[in-house]
Amino acid sequence: MDQIKEQESVNKGTIGLPDNRLLELKRVIVATIVGGALVCLCAVLFIDKNVTKSIAEINRDRLLHLRQACERTNNGGKYKIEPSFYIHVKNESLLYCLVFKSGTTTWFYNINRWAGYSEEKILDDKTDNFMLARQKYPWENPQKLLTSMKNAYSFIVVRDPFERLISAYEERLLGQLHPYFKKLSHQIYKRYHNDGNEYGIPTFQDFARYVVDQNRAEQPSDLHWRPINDLCTPCLARYDSIIKMESFGPELAYLVNRTQLQEKIKSVHMNHSRRDSLKRLIEKYFSQLTKQQYEDLYDIYRIDFELFQYSPESVILYVNGLTVL
């Protein structure tokens, strides 16, 4: 009944209009309906295209973006490739640049297992798996490394810079499972607290200040939170795959299929599971920072954000005094 009344009202509104005006009005209505339908259809097609995008296509997009970002940033400000953190597994034709706190547990497990080390030794908390791997897979000089990249499947595993920072803080400074980090944790606390406490635990704000101060003093930061651009100089490398920790499972499967290592690579998780959600941790830790502290911290990882298509949007909502436009 309401629809009938509404239609009658429309009809009354058009009574008295000249035929040419009525025809024009009808054309506008039809054009509006068709236009709206096309917009909806285009939106559906756009969404469907992204949803169904294969990992191979996503990987090609990442590699293309990396090249373009490197051009914009003058190769990330680097002029010579840093070879220290590349591991060349010749028997499996793999070349991996390790980014600490970005899937290294899985790769150290497999790489050192291929080297013949026991699972017990590899999974021991006291084992330095990087040094263990270096005994079997020696460091290559820059020129040899660049040649190896042409003859092996080269890849890197990356992670959101601030999520990586949170993970390093929680596992290394709060967890204190290793004597070195236990000592460093107390040193950072004493540096920013003059309360006579020899064994205090630093807040995330203390940690952020420490990271910034080390950077300003041009002192090398710990490998667990050193920028990816410093660890792997990705603009000077050639990669076949860029894997992201945020979608590690399916992208690892893609690499396994590409390299035909289905029976040799196993995903391993050794780190302690966190009790809070990632969103809660971001709010908990970044709400401790002032606007200036956030900006100083972001500046250190700015290149990483740009090279690997990450955004600090999820963080800036919680920073004190930071206005979101």
Rounded percentage of the chain residues whose pLDDT exceeds 70: 82
pLDDT in tens, 210-232: 999 999 999 989 999 999 999 99
User: Given this model, what pLDDT does residue 51 score?
Assistant: 55
Q: Give ∠ CA 209-225-102 in degrees, rounded to 5.
A: 145
Other beta carbons within 10 Å of 214: 16
Query: How far apart are alpha carbons 297 and 166 in whole angstroms?
Result: 12
Query: How far apart are alpha carbons 112 and 129 in whole angstroms?
Result: 8
Query: How far apart are alpha carbons 303 and 68 in whole angstroms?
Result: 13
SS3 242: strand
Query: Per-residue confidence at 273, pLDDT binned at 50, 70, 90?
Result: low
User: Given this model, what pLDDT does residue 272 score?
Assistant: 56
Structure tokens at 73: 């940033």
Length, in residues, of the chain: 325
Least Cα distance to 104 among 155, 57, 58, 62 occurs for: 155
Cross-strand partners of 180: none
Query: How far apart are alpha carbons 146 and 236 in whole angstroms?
Result: 9
Query: How far apart are alpha carbons 49 and 163 in whole angstroms?
Result: 28
Query: How far apart are alpha carbons 119 and 97 in whole angstroms?
Result: 22
User: Given this model, what pLDDT does residue 47 score?
Assistant: 41
- Bigger pLDDT: 151 vs 44: 151
Any idea where the domains of the chain sit in the sequence? 12-48, 55-317
- Is residue 259 predicted with pLDDT exceeding 80? yes
Q: What is the mean pLDDT of residues 250-258?
A: 95
Q: Any idea which of 35-49, 180-194, 248-262, 300-314 has the lowest mean pLDDT?
A: 35-49
Q: What is the mean pLDDT of residues 167-195?
A: 94
- Is residue 247 predicted with pLDDT exceeding 80? yes
User: Given this model, what pLDDT does residue 274 score?
Assistant: 59
Query: Per-residue confidence at 49, pLDDT binned at 50, 70, 90?
Result: very low
Contact 110, 266 (CB under 8 A): yes
User: Given this model, what pLDDT does residue 177 score?
Assistant: 81
pLDDT in tens, 289-308: 999 999 999 999 999 999 99
pLDDT in tens, 1-45: 444 444 444 444 443 444 444 444 445 434 443 344 433 444 444
User: Given this model, what pLDDT does residue 289 score?
Assistant: 97
Task: Kindly state the DSSP code that residue 94 receives in the 8-state scheme.
Answer: E
- Is residue 281 predicted with pLDDT exceeding 60? yes
pLDDT in tens, 88-112: 999 999 999 999 999 999 999 999 9
